[in-house]
Amino acid sequence: MIYYHTDDILIRNMEQKDIQIITDEEIAQGWHATTEKYEMRFQHQAEGKSIALVAEYKGSIAGYINVYPNSEWGAFANKGYPEIVDFGVLEKYRRRGIGNKLMDIAEKIASEYSNIVYLGVGLHHGYGSAQRMYVKRGYIPDGTGVWYGEKVCEQYADCCNDDDLVLYMSKTMI
């Protein structure tokens, strides 16, 4: 399904062929990427658990985002709130409006399920632009503190500042 289309940007459902392209592009820019994560997202879409989206810029894969209408993870798990998961724009395609358009479409999809949408954002510097974007879009911390993996990271607990250290944020859709 196509969700958005202009001369430069196309946003559509993820296809099997996209998995290797995204993985290869992320590895090329120095990220720790494997096909397993994207295969899982694609499978969840096939099972009806999620909507997996891909953005193309002038015909090349440029980014991706996933919406889980009733997420099983994080601060709002199993409460009927959609979660936005694994949002990314490849570095060579940034600052072209692709990320904002992916978020627009993901939030529109999420609003079909609930008036609240949430996401978890990593805390290391690699997530800096995403952190700023979410605040500008009206997301606020949920108040549970920092999470590591699938649970709250307790006060004074040791943790690793990797992709599993996140802050959950939510937004009320109007």
* Contacts of residue 78, Cβ cutoff 8 Å, sequence gap at least 6: 70, 71, 72
Instruction: Specify the CATH number for the domain of residue 10.
Output: 3.40.630.30
Of the candidates 88, 50, 76, which has an alpha carbon nearest to the alpha carbon of residue 141?
Answer: 76
What is the reported pTM? 0.92
Longest dimension (CA), the chain: 51
Q: For residue range 93-139, what is the model confidence (pLDDT) as tens digits?
A: 999 999 999 999 999 999 999 999 999 999 999 889 899 999 999 99
Q: Is 151 helix (H, G, I), strand (E, B) or coil?
A: strand
Q: For residue range 132-156, what is the model confidence (pLDDT) as tens digits?
A: 999 999 999 999 999 998 899 999 9
| Block residue for tokens 């307790």 | 154
Of the candidates 72, 102, 85, 100, which has an alpha carbon nearest to the alpha carbon of residue 38?
Answer: 85
Query: According to the model, what pLDDT value does residue 163 have?
Result: 87
Sheet holding 83-89, edge to edge: 2-5, 9-13, 51-57, 60-68, 83-89, 116-122, 165-172, 140-148, 151-152
- Mean pLDDT for the chain? 94
Is the predicted pLDDT of residue 31 greater than 90, yes or no?
no
- Assess contact for 126 and 93: CB atoms under 8 A: no
Is the predicted pLDDT of residue 33 greater than 90, yes or no?
no
Q: Domain of residue 113: give its range.
A: 2-172
Confidence at 30, pLDDT banded by 50, 70, 90: confident
Name the range with the highest mean pLDDT among 27-41, 50-64, 74-88, 126-140.
50-64
Domain count, the chain: 1
Could you tell me the CA-to-CA distances from 101 to 6, 83, 94, 134 in Å, in that order?
A: 11, 17, 12, 13
Query: According to the model, what pLDDT value does residue 4 have?
Result: 97
Q: How much is the average pLDDT of 20-28?
A: 95
